[in-house]
Each structure stands twice: as structure tokens, then as C-alpha cells.
């Protein structure tokens, strides 16, 4: 659709700008490298979205609500306390952070560094991975819903399908291949632990959710948020829920993640060595089904 812009005789063609951005195969990082000082219109949030932005909220008592931090080191002692903590977090917030989760800090640091190194590669090296093909197991791109969303997010992503069928490591970019495979292995182990705890929190056997193949599929999304010339006009990731059973998120030290809590949006501050766990839509639905069966 062409839109006339006040003070400008040239109509603004949004679809044309979207195609130009997509066909460049350079992503948001490419725009930054080109030296832009103004945000392209495809990334600008509509005025109604900016006006309706939900602030980070305090609870009625005036104390800032915080995301629960669960120490999995407790599994070596009184397991019931950890299960109770997971149950409370899942029921009240749907988010929690885990520490002493068993994934070495070195693996987390190397993963973060490898992601940064991939996204900092010259455009011509990343372009061979650029794709919007649904069935492609490893692909680099920017905004999977580029042509459907009201505005684009200021974010590039390397998307890797690691399971249920094992990914051939040769499909991964060499610069992050070994790290991605090790991180994937470690996160899968942690996922099984978490599904066991969530099963017990539902009053079921520890292997119940995994036995239903909740842990079978496995994908990794390596997001990258370059510096933005006008960050107040756009978003790195818009509000959403995750269409999966469980998301395990590794944050960098910068932060910026917010989640919707009982009293509004709250920050999820980075905790050194911690991982953020998000109860996905499929597990929420599974919980309703299980609860109905139990009743």
C-alpha cells in the first residue's frame, strides 16, 4: 500500500521498503554498518502503540515484584523444597531463574561470545545462511514475520533446529559450530531436569512430561540486538508468549527483558550464571488438561 507523507511528494511504499531490507540479506546489523542515523519507517512503532506502552509496575504494597530465583543445588538435599519453589513460580508468574543448574559458566560465556562473533561477521559470510524457508534447519534472518507484523523488531536471529532429528553439525556456521552443539547438549539435559520438577509440581511421576515427548523437539534461537539510533521508537522483541512447552533463556549482562506479572510489566535483571525459564503455551495447556484429569 502506498501512503502519502506530509511535506513529501513521494508516496511511502512500505512493501517496497520491506522487500529492499529483506533482499539485502544484511539484517539490522547491515543497517547499522551502513551508518544510518534515523530509524527506517518499517521499524517505527505506530503512535497508538507508543501511547499504550505498559510501564514497569510496582505491586500495590509499593515493593517491586521480582522474578523468583531457584537454586537447583537443593536437589542434592531436600528435593521437595525445590519442587515447591518451581510450583509457586509456575503458578504465579510463569517465569523463574535457575542457578546452580549444572551448565558450566564457561559454556555460557563461550556461547554468548560465539553468537556475537557470528552476528559480527561480514555480511557476505552471513548471507549464505539467510533464508525464510520454513523447513530449513539452520537459517539466519531478521523478523520471521517481517511481512505480517505492524512494525519490524530491531533484531537479527540465527535459528537452529537441533531436534528431534539430530542436526548435522556441518550445517552450522563454523564460527559457532562446536559451541552451539555443546550448549545444545547441556540445555537438553537441563530441560529434562526441569520437566521432572514440573511433573512433580503437578503431582505426577517425575518422568511424566518427558514421557509425553514434551522434551523431544529442541530449537535454539541466537538473537542479536545491535545499537539503535532511535531506540525509543521501536522494540527489540515485541510482547508475546512462547508457542512451546518450555523456553530456557540465556541473557547477557545488559538486560532489557521484561515479563508481564500480576501487577504489570517487571524487569528480569541479569543474574550472573543464571538461566531464565519460561512456561510456554503448550505446557500451560497441558497443565489445564492434567488438572482436569486429576479433578
b/e code 91-101 from CB counts within 10 Å (16+ = b): eebbbbbbeeb
**Residue 264 — φ and ψ, nearest 5°?**
120, -170
Judge whether residue 106 has pLDDT over 60. Answer: yes
Q: What is the mean pLDDT of residues 125-146?
A: 96
Beta bridge partners of 96: 277
Q: How far apart are CA 104 and CA 108, in angstroms?
A: 7
Find the range with the poorest average confidence among 155-159, 236-240, 262-266: 262-266
Q: Which CATH class is domain 15-294?
A: mainly beta
Mean pLDDT of 75-93: 89
Q: Find, among 110, 272, 152, 146, the residue nearest to 118 by Cα.
A: 110
State pLDDT tens for residues 64-73.
Answer: 567 899 999 9
Sequence-ordered strand ranges (E) for the chain: 2-5, 8-13, 69-71, 95-99, 138-141, 156-163, 218-224, 246-249, 258-261, 264-267, 275-279
Domain boundaries defined on the chain: 15-294
What pLDDT score does 295 carry? 46
Strands 95-99 and 69-71: parallel
Confidence check: pLDDT of 276 > 90: yes
Average pLDDT of the segment spanning 216-223:
95
Q: What rounded mean pLDDT belongs to the chain? A: 88
Kindly state the percentage of the chain with pLDDT values over 70.
88
Percent of the chain with pLDDT over 90: 69
As a whole number, mean pLDDT of residues 135-161 equals: 96
Amino acid at each position: 500500500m502506498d501512503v502519502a507523507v506530509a511535506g513529501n511528494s513521494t508516496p511511502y511504499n512500505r512493501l517496497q521498503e520491506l522487500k529492499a531490507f529483506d533482499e539485502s540479506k544484511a539484517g539490522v546489523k547491515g543497517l547499522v554498518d551502513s551508518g544510518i542515523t534515523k530509524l527506517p519507517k518499517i521499524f517505527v512503532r505506530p503512535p497508538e502503540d507508543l501511547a499504550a506502552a505498559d510501564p514497569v509496575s510496582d505491586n500495590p504494597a509499593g515493593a517491586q515484584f521480582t522474578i523468583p530465583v531457584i537454586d537447583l543445588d537443593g536437589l542434592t538435599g531436600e528435593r521437595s523444597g525445590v519442587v515447591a519453589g518451581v510450583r509457586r513460580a509456575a503458578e504465579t508468574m510463569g517465569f523463574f531463574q535457575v542457578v546452580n543448574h549444572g551448565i558450566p559458566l564457561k559454556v555460557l560465556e563461550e556461547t554468548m561470545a560465539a553468537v556475537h562473533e557470528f552476528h559480527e561477521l561480514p555480511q557476505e559470510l552471513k548471507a549464505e545462511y539467510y533464508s525464510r524457508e520454513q523447513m530449513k534447519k539452520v537459517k539466519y534472518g531478521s523478523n520471521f514475520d517481517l511481512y505480517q507484523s505492524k512494525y519490524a523488531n530491531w533484531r537479527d536471529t540465527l535459528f537452529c533446529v537441533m531436534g528431534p532429528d539430530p542436526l548435522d553439525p556441518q550445517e552450522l556456521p563454523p564460527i559457532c559450530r562446536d559451541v552451539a552443539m555443546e550448549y545444545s547438549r547441556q540445555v537438553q539435559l537441563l530441560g529434562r531436569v526441569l520437566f521432572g520438577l514440573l511433573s512433580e509440581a503437578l503431582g505426577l511421576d517425575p518422568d511424566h512430561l518427558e514421557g509425553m515427548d514434551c522434551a523431544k523437539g529442541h530449537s535454539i534461537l541466537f538473537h542479536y540486538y545491535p545499537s539503535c539510533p532511535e531506540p525509543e521508537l521501536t522494540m527489540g522483541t515485541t510482547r508475546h508468549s512462547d508457542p512451546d512447552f518450555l523456553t530456557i533463556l540465556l541473557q547477557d549482562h545488559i538486560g532489557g527483558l521484561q515479563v508481564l506479572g500480576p501487577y504489570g510489566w517487571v524487569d528480569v535483571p541479569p543474574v550472573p550464571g543464571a538461566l531464565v525459564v519460561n512456561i510456554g503455551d503448550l505446557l500451560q495447556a497441558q497443565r489445564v488438561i492434567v488438572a482436569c484429569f486429576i479433578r
